[in-house]
Structure 1
Amino acid sequence: MGAVKIIRILGIDPGSRATGYGVIEKNGPLLGFVTCGTIRTREKDFSRRLFEIHQGLREVINCHRPEVAAVEDVFVATNPRSAMKLGQARGVAVVAAMQSDLEVFDYTPRMVKQAVAGYGQADKAQVQRMVQVLLELSGMPSSDAADALAVAICHANHMDYIRKNC
């Protein structure tokens, strides 16, 4: 039996004003916290905000060297304009990861919530709390960072299944 390879996973929760990121390590069945945070855009111009997201994610990738990225898929919003902006922010996140030669995996919000809270309609507070428990964090991560960590945890839970079926 070979040695277990530690894999570093970047989780991304895209948003046009605040994009959460979280990096974890998977060592066999164990998960470890590396870092998390939020990229908050300051520009008024939407195109410049997208560029800020791209640059921020590239910095995170260059600093923490993940091997794979997991991005939350766009949920169906009631406002089409908001959904389009969210989709563009998500696209920028995917491009930033792919420019760094990371394979990118997509997960729906329901899959992410199911993976961390055991319930596909868990609220943000439940997701935050479960992320804190699963990663044994001393403090509660911000909502956006917790969502990104949850995406990374979701991918960590699905990795073995993906390997077996590809």
Structure 2
Amino acid sequence: MRITNYGLNKFVIRNSQFAQLKILGIDPGTTRIGYGLIESSGDSISLLDSGLLTITAKETHHRLVDLATSYTDLLRREKPELVSFEKLFFAKNVKTGLDVAQARGVLLYLTAQAGIPFLEFSPSEVKSNIAGYGSADKQAVAMMVKRITGVREIPGPDDVTDAIAIAIAGSNHAKFM
């Protein structure tokens, strides 16, 4: 599989039966950002790495700088060929929604700056892609993530499970591009 980047978020994937693609899934947040790195090869998906970027700074500007540093380090270490993000959904708390939007902006910018194509999915699109219906609960998504990747347990909280699911959604979408 070859990705040709034609500018910000416009790319073509040349698919073949044996092509491999490293996809990083990101579940954005203000202080905890879940990530999951998978390798997709044909119909096979392997979990390569997963975890949390934990941001402890209290003030917004420090938090965004810490996030940028941690995420840049993650991109350099893992070298993904595609990044999948969860879109911001309507937040009940407006301040939290704005904070997450700022964090997403930093992540999207750094991904684009690194020349890595990215996809975005709403939470219901991820759930539908993984579990077959858009209102699936966290347990159904976790069960399908384990089944798809072949792992017994997912290390970490729901943010990590969600990030792996977002990466799998990116893999499934990339197969048809």
TM exceeding 0.5 = yes
What TM-score do you get using the length of structure 2 for normalisation? 0.86
Ranges in structure 1 where 5+ consecutive residues have no aligned partner: none
Aligned to 2:96: 82
Q: Are the equivalent residues in 1 in contact too, given 2:17–2:42 (CA < 8 A)?
A: no
- In the TM superposition, residue 123 of structure 1 has moved relative to its aligned partner by 1.9
Aligned to 2:159: 144
What TM-score do you get using the length of structure 1 for normalisation? 0.91
Q: Are the equivalent residues in 2 in contact too, given 1:54–1:96 (CA < 8 A)?
A: yes
> How many residues align structurally?
162
Taking only the aligned residue pairs, the percentage that are identical comes to 31
Aligned to 2:172: 157
Aligned to 1:9: 23
- Structure 1's 155 and 3: CA in aligned 2 closer, same or farther, altered over 3 A? closer
Q: What amino acid is the match of 2:37?
A: V
Q: What amino acid is the match of 2:108?
A: V
Aligned to 2:126: 112
- In the TM superposition, residue 2 of structure 1 has moved relative to its aligned partner by 5.8
Q: What amino acid is the match of 2:165?
A: A
- Structure 1's 116 and 80: CA in aligned 2 closer, same or farther, altered over 3 A? same
Q: What amino acid is the match of 1:21?
A: Y
Ranges in structure 2 where 5+ consecutive residues have no aligned partner: 1-14
SS at match of 2:92: coil
Does the alignment pair 1:30 with 2:35?
Answer: no
- In the TM superposition, residue 140 of structure 1 has moved relative to its aligned partner by 2.5
Aligned to 1:93: 107
Q: Are the equivalent residues in 1 in contact too, given 2:38–2:48 (CA < 8 A)?
A: yes
SS at match of 2:175: helix
Given the alignment, which residue of 52, 57, 80 partners 2:71?
57
Give the aligned CA root-mean-square deviation in angstroms. 1.6
More helix by share: 1
SS at match of 2:48: strand
SS at match of 1:20: strand
